[in-house]
Amino acid sequence: MNRLKIPQEEDPFLNPLDTILADIAVNVQLPPGLHDKATERYEAVRNYAERDGSPLKGRILRFYPQGSMAIDATISTRGTDDEYDIDIVAELDIDHLSDPHATIGELTDALKGYPTSKDVERQTRCVTVRYADGMHLDVTPAARLPYSRERESHIFHAHPKKPSEHSLVPMNAYGFVEWYRERTPLEDRFAKAFNRRLLEAYGMIIKADAEVDEVPDQTPLYVKNTATVALQLLKRFRNVVYASADCRIPPSVMMSCIAGHAAAPNTSLTDMVIKQARMLAKEIWAASAKREKLSIVNPVFPRDCFTDRWPENIAQQNDFAAALKNLSDGLEILRKQGADLEELQEWLRERFGSHVVSRSVKQFNERMGGAVRTSAQSYSGRGGLFVPSAPALVGIGVAASPAAAKPHTFMGGRRR
């Protein structure tokens, strides 16, 4: 295997805050092995749905990933659990005005008996297939709209106990993914450094002194740019904030849209997290100033509203904006003034979860070769060590508290 020696000036993680944030992102990633397994599983689910005797035999036009899986932004679903939510669209050969209740029912029937350790579960817009290792696939039925651009579709909303709310929902997940990819092209330097770190964390490459094994050309780059890693960190922050809340949570697709708008190559990871958090908070406050609920729509298909089910009221969106401000202000102070490692750990734990932060700091210390002592040193902007003055974390506050979330979908729903 070829080896690559990385000149220091090319390392995008010289700043220790960037380094620790990158390690947190690595620790909430869909692991490389599960990424491949997810692809195999959604192919197997399609084959099962089209088997002989299925109500959908010969009626599935295509299966394609949507949401986080499609833009390489999948993270663990909640807390320290190793749960991963994979979103799939099943485009069916049906009329776009089909009955929502019947359509979701047909897909449920088609997937019943699928050989996993748990039952197939019907939701209001999708059908969930659960696996013993914590992964689950959310399969959403869709029907193409006539005389429309590629994959502009209806999906179907049907709550069994609320028939008056059954509806057809415009959607173009495919178009949004293409837009996001155009806005967030490959950042070669960042992608190679981050993916090397990801593969190293899962024992797929070996680090040796100043040299590391180069990521082989045939190895996929699971994350390709700074904007997507920053998005993963913000989603993790949201999950921790809402981990025990009994309400809908800010939808990932809305946050992905903001990430696409905020994307700027060669931005540091810390700066990109700050930028995305502030941009979303600004959008929320602008809506609240007009006494309106936030409205974020698909940039390629405005009929597709990403915030149709969240927020439920203005107070709810303001709570999330306050949490985002808390995060971005704190990162700004840490970036400018540094902090004692012990205090930094505590601050990060409150916002990204105790388990992953502890693991990330351990990885950071191991990478530094034991040179960092937790309570006696801080870090300069270029990665050097210095004895800290007052770390200026006073007033940053704790993680904002809509409380923290139940397992959710890419569209911001909650499971019961």
Q: Which residues are catalytic?
A: 85, 87, 138
C-alpha 338/C-alpha 9 separation (Å) is: 21
3-state class (DSSP) for residue 66: strand
User: Angle of helix 341-352 relative to helix 16-27, nearest 10 degrees?
Assistant: 40
Beta strands in 249-388 (DSSP E): 297-298, 301-305, 378-379, 385-386
Pairing of the two strands 153-159 and 135-144: antiparallel
Gap between the Cα atoms of 49 and 90, Å rounded: 10
Q: For residues 43 and 116, what is the distance between their CA atoms, to the nearest angstrom? A: 14
**Rounded distance between C-alpha atoms, residue 135 and residue 131, angstroms:** 5
User: For the chain, how are helix, strand and coil distributed in percent, rounded to 5?
Assistant: 40, 20, 40
Residues 6+ apart with CB under 8 A from 273: 21, 230, 233, 234, 327, 328, 331
Helix (H) or strand (E) holding 166: strand 162-171
* Angle subtended by helix axes 173-183 and 252-262, to nearest 10: 30
Q: Which two tokens stand for residue 364?
A: 């950071």
